[in-house]
Structure 1
Amino acid sequence: MKVVALVSGGKDSCYAMMRCIDYGHEIVALANLMPLDDSVDELDSYMYQTVGHQIVVGYAECMGLPLFRRRIRGSTRHQHLNYKMTSGDEVEDMFVLLNEVKKQIPSITAVSSGAIASDYQRLRVESVCSRLGLVSLAYLWKQDQTLLLEEMIERGIIAITIKVAAMGLNPAKHLGRELADLIPYLLQIKELCGINVCGEGGEYETLTLDCPLFKNARIFLDKFEVILHSPDNIAPVGFLHPLAFHLQHKMEPLSSGSCDIGSGKVGYVCEVQGDSTPDHMVQSLSACSQLGNCTTKNLNLCISRGSRDKFSIGCWIQNVSKTLDGLQEDLISVLGKIELKLNEDGFDWLNVIYIHLYISNMKDFTLANEVYVKFITEKKCFLGVPSRSTIELPLVQVGLGNAFVEVLVANDHSKRVLHVQSISCWAPSCIGPYSQATLHGEVLHMAGQLGLDPPTMTLCSGGPAIEIEQALLNSEAIANCFNSSLVSCAILLTVYCAASLTFCERTEIQHKMESFFDDDSDSIDVKRVASPIFLYILAPALPKGALVEVKPVLYIPENGDYGIGNNLLGSDSKEMVWDFQTYTISGKICAALVSITKDVAAKICPNTEPELISGDHIRVIAKFCVFLVNKVLLDNYLFWGDLMHLKFYYTAYLSMTAETLNLIFYEVFAAFAEDSKSFEMGKEPIFSLIPVLSSGRSASMEDIITCELFASKL
């Protein structure tokens, strides 16, 4: 990609450019924000480093690139973590600046920034990039700061301290010192005082005088004065005010990047003027105006709800005619129906924690996203957009439409969302309206993770075993952001395998999953409560042509007390014919899988071949499943009202339609509700029937039906 780099003069923005080049991108322009008044060194800004701004003008000639600069007219008006477009805010100056760069250099598609640990800065850069249709590149994000600082020095960045503001740093002693000389001392006070060695906590700021990207010249600071801003006895604050500098040329000026801005001047400097009033973005049409023919479709709702605190809604199109509509029409209908149901109960998309998006053809994945963003937007979900997983299912084969959506809803605004849209070395970015993970009620719901190499966002080569290893590493990186560990806290891991995999490849995936949790169990700080449950699902296709995808659910207690956890495995003895696994924590959470394998089916439906299962046999199996679900709940001191979701995955090769299957299960549940008075059966079912190629608790995936339940008192 062609990149415009946000530069402040500091080491981080320069090294971020170097990392962009490492990953094959091309820096074609620089962008800098500076004080409105040249005589001012530092602004009271949460966003921008402005000390040393007098020197940044030299970067254009040093690198042989156009430099776009804008004076900061705004101030810090919107101080919440998640930025909302605000007139007069300093972030809007960045928008105006990058918007002008994009106009003058239309080939630019990405923005580089040096964010390492600040969510505040990263989210604002991502907000501006999103509005401009640009990709945010943040290759320093979440990197170990000690290693990062050492890398910068080893790779030739020559920078001096231009501001100090931390315990252990003295303006008289440490201002103007080369960073390479200060590293041992910075590491020492890190151990003593806990400072960020890269200065991410505002401990110090730097000015880069030379680096490998400065092909044409390097900077020499000839004259400066020390300004003591705050003579504090413990952590005095001071900075350098540059008075004179010069460039020492290395060779004849050469352009290190191409641009198409018209003038073609090497080292061209352009000051961007203009109003910082936010652009008026074209808002998407309201969902209700897009519903189209949803009211004419046979839309089926599934609502698992015992209370208004937390529940799930599933929606699919049933009894589809031979003349099928496309994905766009079906997905609009399904999402529209869910939105209407949410609104009926006083909710909206802000209350949604997680979304399962099932589509009939992964070739329509891009189209599905286009429809999706008409409904679920960052504006509607100001606390953060829901996490999501997307897979292809054999929907049409069983008489359903092209889209099937499930949403998990909470009756409060207490969720904590991690949504990193920048491409980095940390974990795969989520460029779009879905997040990496959402924490609610001590349960972390993580988006489906592919085996993507984070900095390149491409699938790891080497086959499914390599992909699942990377997917698990990506999941672990996300869990770490919640001070947690995948190994210690995983409750349930759903592993989606592509249909193209052989049995041996699926078995290898299972071995990788098991060894990942077994090998790391002794190296983690938090003791694992119980072994997680693995659910394997065979799907026709996965996003990006991936061979495997993992969707983790974790338990993260607020007080650090993990309680008493246990696993319970079913048996196939004469007394018990069921095959199931549960994961419980102190009566608060229960996840369970009930497997109706061929062996189990043979015992409860004697003299029946799985391929010849009739409606009567399914009715027996359904009753058996309801009995086991009830048993699992009671054994764990939970009730039907504690259910968050109840799903039945069934093989699409059963000789009956989804409509017939749904009717049988509904009748069984209604009869059970009437007999036991355990719950009230309304007009809508409390379960989802999900067609898959196959499923099970192992990679063999031999279940005829797999029941997944998740109940919580949290």
Structure 2
Amino acid sequence: MSLNVIALISGGKDSLYSILHCIRNGHKVVALANLHPPPLPATTTSSNSNSNDVSTADDIDSFMYQTIGWSVIPLYEEALGIPLYRAPIIGGAVDAGRVYGDATTAGEEDEDETESLIPLLKKVMAAHPEANAVCAGAILSTYQRTRIEDVAGRLGLVPLAWLWQYPFLPAEARSTGAGEDEAGLLSDMAAVGCSARIVKVASGALDEGFLWGDVADASGGLRRRIVKGVKRFQMGGGEDIRGAVVGEGGEYETLAVDGPGFLWKGRIDIADEGREVRRGEGGVGYLRLSGARVVSKSQDEEDGVTPGDVRRPVLLDGEFAGALDGLWDGDEGGGEEGVAMREDYRASWTFDEPVQSVNGGLWTVANIAAPEVGPGAAEQMAAIVRKIQKVLATPITNGTLRSTADIVFTTVLLRSMADFPSMNGIYVSLFDKPNPPARATVACGDSLPEGVNVMVSMVVDLGPRAQRDGLHVQSRSYWAPANIGPYSQAQSVPLQGTERVVYIAGQIPLEPASMDLVEVEKPSAPGGPSWAETYSLRAVLSLQHMWRIGAAMEVGWWLGTVAFFTGSDHTRTRAQLAWKLWQKMHDASLHEDEEEDEDSTLDVWDIKYGRRGHEQTQTISRPQLPNFELVEASEPKTQVPAFFAVQVHELPRNSDIEWQGLGYRCNGVKLTRSETEFGRTTDATTNENFKYSCIEIDSAGAADLESQIQRVLEVYKLQPGTSHCIIYTSQPLPQDCCQGQIVPCKSVWGAEGTELAAGVIIQRQT
């Protein structure tokens, strides 16, 4: 769907380049919006004086907005032919937390500068009622992105951040000179005729000689100088410098002065005498600009650049493209029978009370349902909300009360995806703070107990909230699907020691920029893609989403995954393809040629506005995913983490696959795989004794599944209320057998694509 976009501009290269991506993706930019420094008090030195105070004369050094060169901003209306709206910045960084709304600002007299966006955008929306989206140039700044998303959400606008994580996304194969890989974003700007001049330097790597240099010059000379300068000032070796090269650590700031003719109707010209070099504190150098004007472009200056020339990152990272290659070999496998298809096990089953357990600082409450209130999904969800609030109001440990802000993961089971909107409208009322819990939502059809249309299970963190870390990217980008709804992409929770468990939300194969299900563009045979081609691509893309989120959350290893899939045909083949993909992604040879992406775990915005942009900062490497150095396994075959493929009735957006994973941050993990009396088990035990066990109950045990599960619980010494247990089953189980979360499904499949009667996951801190 085409959007009508308000473009937030600062004059910097990123905000103007983002406009090109809006057009590239089929959207229309209806207005420009800019916040500028407030008028100086009469007693303050005029900006035309010889004052060296950069924070009051030319640049207020806002935490949120670039303000250097603000006097040139009015010219963009003429240069781009798009109406411009402006307003002053009021207030400062009152809420200085990385995620807006997390900090407590009660009692603060000053207004946060973020709130200055509200009246400005309301003014634009009044003049352009068709506007329904807002874009910004956020690249790596969680600080900036979350604030724009907060404002967009309150105004009902779709947030767009095309350049989010852009420096680390895969580029098309192209011949590059020295340093061009690190300068990929700047090279892409140069390729479409952008011109952005450096107007401020604030790093020992860049001196005043860089001022007014064009970072997007076609020759690439300045980019190579930037790369060389940044590398000289890195401490240690092997760091990924791409964030610094594009200025995300405050190394420099730019003013965009030209671009392709399909957007830029004129270029901004500032003569030599209008560029005065000034010096600020801490080695900062900047240009005071005057006499700027717009020079209209003549027909002779036609550049021939079209929106299609604006490069979008390729869809798949290198290792995922490699995993897709040969994933499906044309063999549709053998019989399509499943446990649920051979015999009708749809007897009535009920859950009288939720199942609770506490272990390792995590409290789980499973199988919360409310069929007693009536058949409507909304009324059942409303009753479930009341039950959740009542449970949380009961002290669980040390008399401490928890709230919905402590929920870190939920599983929502529906009878039909048609009930999703009504359920979700009630579900959202549970959460009023940023970074709501990660979530997986599937529809189980008639596998759910009779009368139950909604069932919820949740994991609650009993530790300090300040130690938790969430990821909730609501902006549309090229990175991964935006989560505009009431759930985060991930929640990272510390356990009793130094290790962290990372809950990843269920990921479906949405193409991030469009938020549509991905389709095969070039079928391998005439007549369109086969079901297997489409399914394979979607399996790979949705797993890549999970992988990218895991990498962003510094996951070193997956404890396990569940691939939910739909469809009534090719059941065995769908399960086997998912397993084959999971296995390939844990083949060390697939990752041998991949560049080791290492970037700072510090938010570059914190570095920049912690007034340390000019200092030398040590880069901290992000662990590889998968990090095979963490794993102790008896043989390569056992190096693959736990896996289930679970056939369900429906998935969100009518997807045919959804991956949901549990990541882990630790210093080491031991993997063992063994044959048991009921099937196979995969055990992962971390250095600090967190144990994750995946138990496969063979399909031969379907006739006596209850006793098989009871035997599993005995073997693993599972005591009610002390370990988190999840059971994926295609047949009903009695209440006394359900000592954990139940996910009723059509069929269950394990490693090697083996058909199962049930799958059991047990998590515990020993």
TM-score tier after normalising by the smaller chain length = 0.7 to 0.9
**1:699 Cα deviation from its structure 2 partner:** 7.3
* Cα pair distance change 1:192/1:397, threshold 3 Å: closer
Match of 1:624 among 671, 695, 711: 711
CA contact (8 A) 1:159 1:209 kept: yes
CA distance in 2, matches of 1:211, 1:582: 56
The residue correspondences of 1:303-452 to structure 2 (distance < 5 A) are 303-306=355-358, 309-317=361-369, 320=371, 324-345=374-395, 346-378=401-433, 382=434, 384-394=435-445, 398-412=449-463, 413=465, 414-441=467-494, 442-452=500-510
Q: In structure 1, what is the equivalent of residue 141 of structure 2?
A: 118
CA distance in 1, matches of 2:391, 2:288: 61
**1:130 Cα deviation from its structure 2 partner:** 1.0
Q: In structure 2, what is the equivalent of residue 262 of structure 1?
A: none
CA contact (8 A) 1:315 1:334 kept: no
The one-character-per-residue Cα deviations of 1:554-582 (angstroms, maximum 9, x if unpaired) are 1112xxx21x41222224xxxx3443322
Q: In structure 1, what is the equivalent of residue 673 of structure 2?
A: 568
Match of 2:249 among 197, 201, 204: 201
Give structure 1 stretches of 5+ with no counterpart.
253-297, 602-609, 634-638, 667-685
Q: In structure 2, what is the equivalent of residue 156 of structure 1?
A: 193
CA distance in 2, matches of 1:308, 1:347: 16
Match of 2:212 among 144, 165, 176: 176
CA contact (8 A) 2:445 2:650 kept: no
Match of 1:647 among 707, 726, 730: 726
CA contact (8 A) 1:10 1:206 kept: yes
**1:642 Cα deviation from its structure 2 partner:** 5.1
Classify the secondary structure of the residue corresponding to 1:509: helix
CA distance in 1, matches of 2:552, 2:294: 43
1:249 partnered with 2:289:
no
**1:336 Cα deviation from its structure 2 partner:** 1.8
Q: In structure 2, what is the equivalent of residue 217 of structure 1?
A: 266
CA contact (8 A) 1:501 1:547 kept: no
The one-character-per-residue Cα deviations of 1:656-689 (angstroms, maximum 9, x if unpaired) are xx5xx333426xxxxxxxxxxxxxxxxxxx4233
**1:215 Cα deviation from its structure 2 partner:** 3.5
CA distance in 1, matches of 2:252, 2:447: 60
Q: In structure 2, what is the equivalent of residue 27 of structure 1?
A: 29
* Cα pair distance change 1:214/1:248, threshold 3 Å: farther
1:186 partnered with 2:295:
no
1:469 partnered with 2:540:
yes
CA distance in 1, matches of 2:281, 2:152: 39
CA contact (8 A) 1:315 1:337 kept: no
Q: In structure 2, what is the equivalent of residue 138 of structure 1?
A: 161
Q: In structure 1, what is the equivalent of residue 683 of structure 2?
A: 582
* Cα pair distance change 1:224/1:650, threshold 3 Å: same
Match of 2:742 among 689, 694, 698: 689
Q: Which amino acid aligns with 1:177?
A: G
Q: In structure 2, what is the equivalent of residue 288 of structure 1?
A: none
CA contact (8 A) 2:358 2:364 kept: no
Classify the secondary structure of the residue corresponding to 1:449: coil
Match of 2:100 among 70, 74, 83: 83
CA distance in 1, matches of 2:576, 2:508: 18
Q: In structure 2, what is the equivalent of residue 492 of structure 1?
A: 560
CA contact (8 A) 2:580 2:752 kept: no
CA distance in 2, matches of 1:473, 1:406: 26
Task: Say which structure, 1 or 2, has more relative contact order (CA 8 Å, 6+ apart).
Answer: 2
Q: Percent identity?
A: 27
Q: In structure 2, what is the equivalent of residue 263 of structure 1?
A: none
Stretch moving more, 536-545 or 209-218: 209-218
CA distance in 2, matches of 1:419, 1:541: 25
Stretch moving more, 502-511 or 448-457: 502-511
CA distance in 2, matches of 1:123, 1:168: 29
Q: In structure 2, what is the equivalent of residue 286 of structure 1?
A: none
* Cα pair distance change 1:239/1:450, threshold 3 Å: same
Classify the secondary structure of the residue corresponding to 1:347: coil
Say how many residue pairs are matched: 600
Classify the secondary structure of the residue corresponding to 1:398: coil
Q: In structure 2, what is the equivalent of residue 545 of structure 1?
A: 654
* Cα pair distance change 1:21/1:452, threshold 3 Å: same
Classify the secondary structure of the residue corresponding to 2:274: strand
CA distance in 2, matches of 1:74, 1:586: 48
* Cα pair distance change 1:176/1:330, threshold 3 Å: same
1:520 partnered with 2:556:
no
* Cα pair distance change 1:72/1:100, threshold 3 Å: same
Classify the secondary structure of the residue corresponding to 1:450: coil
CA distance in 1, matches of 2:27, 2:765: 47
TM-score w.r.t. structure 1 length?
A: 0.79
Classify the secondary structure of the residue corresponding to 1:399: coil
* Cα pair distance change 1:374/1:124, threshold 3 Å: same
CA distance in 2, matches of 1:216, 1:555: 51
Q: In structure 1, what is the equivalent of residue 238 of structure 2?
A: none
Q: Which amino acid aligns with 2:541?
A: Q
Q: In structure 1, what is the equivalent of residue 735 of structure 2?
A: 663
* Cα pair distance change 1:534/1:649, threshold 3 Å: same
TM-score w.r.t. structure 2 length?
A: 0.74
**1:456 Cα deviation from its structure 2 partner:** 1.8
* Cα pair distance change 1:595/1:168, threshold 3 Å: closer
CA distance in 2, matches of 1:231, 1:11: 24
**1:331 Cα deviation from its structure 2 partner:** 1.1
Q: Which amino acid aligns with 1:711?
A: R
* Cα pair distance change 1:699/1:400, threshold 3 Å: farther
Q: Which amino acid aligns with 2:429?
A: K
CA contact (8 A) 1:303 1:311 kept: no
Q: Which amino acid aligns with 1:61?
A: E
Q: Which amino acid aligns with 1:649?
A: Y
The one-character-per-residue Cα deviations of 1:138-197 (angstroms, maximum 9, x if unpaired) are 1111121621011111211112111111113222x2222222252121011121114611
Q: Which amino acid aligns with 1:483?
A: E
Root mean square deviation of aligned Cα: 2.5
The one-character-per-residue Cα deviations of 1:214-262 (angstroms, maximum 9, x if unpaired) are 4421111134243533365xxx21211122022111259xxxxxxxxxx
Classify the secondary structure of the residue corresponding to 2:586: helix
The one-character-per-residue Cα deviations of 1:65-90 (angstroms, maximum 9, x if unpaired) are 11010011222211111212966111
Give structure 2 stretches of 5+ with no counterpart.
41-46, 48-56, 168-181, 235-240, 300-349, 396-400, 495-499, 521-533, 597-623, 632-638
CA contact (8 A) 1:536 1:701 kept: no
Q: Which amino acid aligns with 1:589?
A: F
CA distance in 1, matches of 2:388, 2:754: 31
Q: In structure 2, what is the equivalent of residue 276 of structure 1?
A: none
Q: In structure 2, what is the equivalent of residue 678 of structure 1?
A: none
Q: Which amino acid aligns with 1:354?
A: F
CA contact (8 A) 1:394 1:693 kept: no
CA contact (8 A) 1:493 1:553 kept: yes
CA distance in 1, matches of 2:720, 2:369: 26
The one-character-per-residue Cα deviations of 1:519-571 (angstroms, maximum 9, x if unpaired) are 535567532514200011101011111111111111112xxx21x41222224
Classify the secondary structure of the residue corresponding to 2:737: helix
